[in-house]
Chains A and B, each alone.
Chain A
């Protein structure tokens, strides 16, 4: 009996060291959001904090309906329409807690000009350097928060370039800022961090 349990212990240690870490849905979401794991990188510039979050497909699927009881076929069905793009959220946080469009305005029209820029034109000032490729936004959505918090989210999607080798390259988001007086803002998510993303533990069918 003692030998048997020792064998199980050794086997489980060996298995866990071979494959990726497996995490339950809630832990998985927390892992992705934990800055220490490198999928979320922030940069403070003056009164603005730019935070970039790399979102794996599983993370997006889990955030969509927040159901922790999910099996692999349900997950695959959720992931299928997401494939073909890589997804990010860029969060711009203001120091005074205001909506981006309300900052330092001289006239009422400033608010609408900024809103217009954020909704329609900012996507032209954003690109992603993925390895040797520079990609334009394939998906862009400015999420309005109606001044209920300091975070202003921009949801981004970029195509996935064809890669000759199997390694994951660093992803650098470039924002040619026209609103905050910061100039070019670059934030990098390292390929190493992406390759360390744990596996999601799903219910057996």
Chain B
């Protein structure tokens, strides 16, 4: 009788302990962090857009260089006229020089503004996708929080075991390339 009672108490204690462990495990939030700069730099979309942006900026630079070269050559011709005392030659070319100078300055300003706008637009697109995929990753894997370490002090410390950067970077790229959400 005594043996049975001891066994019963033992089973009861064991069951209680298991329940407590399970409850504790489930009630504890699942936390992790990612290094944002790494996620951003490893993101395929960022690499593609960067390449696209570099090619557009190079093209614009070439256009500006050719305008500048023409302007410099005209300027040099006018300088030679000035040195040789050909005032008429200088005056004749002045309107053209002024027109080309204006064109160059306007283009340079417009390109600079366009480059900035394009860079901002691309960054917005990239973050829109990264944010969505990290959110999906969190939901799929049952995370309560995923923090973003960006070196600005928002996250000062995280132990290495909680660093899921590599896993998330892989997931983000897979999702970008078209993989659906796991069912």
- A residues contacting B by CB (< 8 A) are 35-36, 38, 41-46, 172-173, 181-184, 186-188
Q: Is B85 an interface residue (CB 8 A)?
A: no
Q: Are B183 and A186 in contact (CB under 8 A)?
A: no
Top 9 closest A-B pairs, CB basis?
A188-B178, A183-B125, A41-B180, A186-B178, A172-B178, A36-B183, A187-B178, A46-B128, A45-B132
* Closest beta carbon of chain A to B137's beta carbon, Å: 13
Q: Are A186 and B136 in contact (CB under 8 A)?
A: no
Q: Are A182 and B180 in contact (CB under 8 A)?
A: no
Compute how far the CA of A188 lies from the CA of B180 in the bound complex, rounded to whole angstroms. Answer: 7
List the A residue with the shortest CB-CB distance to B131. A46
Name 26 A/B residue pairs within 8 A (Cβ), A-sorted.
A35-B180, A35-B183, A38-B180, A41-B178, A41-B180, A42-B180, A43-B181, A173-B178, A181-B121, A181-B124, A181-B125, A181-B128, A182-B125, A182-B129, A183-B45, A183-B49, A183-B122, A183-B125, A183-B126, A183-B128, A183-B129, A186-B177, A186-B178, A187-B178, A188-B178, A188-B180
List the A residue with the shortest CB-CB distance to B174. A188
Compute how far the CA of A45 lies from the CA of B128 in the bound complex, rounded to whole angstroms. Answer: 7
Q: Is B179 an interface residue (CB 8 A)?
A: yes
Provide the residues of chain A in CB contact with B179, threshold 8 Å: 188
Compute how far the CA of A172 lies from the CA of B178 in the bound complex, rounded to whole angstroms. Answer: 6
Provide the residues of chain B in CB contact with A42, threshold 8 Å: 180-181
Q: Are B132 and A46 in contact (CB under 8 A)?
A: yes
Provide the residues of chain A in CB contact with B121, threshold 8 Å: 181
List the A residue with the shortest CB-CB distance to B177. A186
Chain B positions 109 through 136: 1 when the CB is less than 8 Å from some CB of chain A, otherwise 0: 0000000000001101110110010001
- B residues contacting A by CB (< 8 A) are 45, 48-49, 121-122, 124-126, 128-129, 132, 136, 175-181, 183
Chain A interface mostly: strand
Provide the residues of chain B in CB contact with A41, threshold 8 Å: 178, 180
Provide the residues of chain A in CB contact with B136, threshold 8 Å: 44
Compute how far the CA of A97 lies from the CA of B124 in the bound complex, rounded to whole angstroms. Answer: 23
Provide the residues of chain B in CB contact with A46, threshold 8 Å: 128, 132
Provide the residues of chain A in CB contact with B178, threshold 8 Å: 41, 43, 172-173, 186-188
* Closest beta carbon of chain A to B100's beta carbon, Å: 34
Compute how far the CA of A46 lies from the CA of B48 in the bound complex, rounded to whole angstroms. Answer: 21
Q: Are A43 and B128 in contact (CB under 8 A)?
A: no
Compute how far the CA of A184 lies from the CA of B121 in the bound complex, rounded to whole angstroms. Answer: 13
Other than the known A43-B175, A183-B129, what 15 A-B pairs have Cβ atoms closer than 8 Å? A36-B183, A42-B181, A43-B178, A43-B180, A45-B132, A172-B178, A173-B178, A181-B124, A182-B125, A182-B128, A183-B125, A184-B176, A186-B178, A187-B180, A188-B180
Compute how far the CA of A36 lies from the CA of B129 in the bound complex, rounded to whole angstroms. Answer: 23
Provide the residues of chain A in CB contact with B128, threshold 8 Å: 45-46, 181-183
Provide the residues of chain B in CB contact with A44, threshold 8 Å: 132, 136
Compute how far the CA of A183 lies from the CA of B50 in the bound complex, rounded to whole angstroms. Answer: 13
List the B residue with the shortest CB-CB distance to A47. B128
List the B residue with the shortest CB-CB distance to A35. B183
Provide the residues of chain A in CB contact with B129, threshold 8 Å: 45, 182-183
Compute how far the CA of A46 lies from the CA of B131 in the bound complex, rounded to whole angstroms. Answer: 9
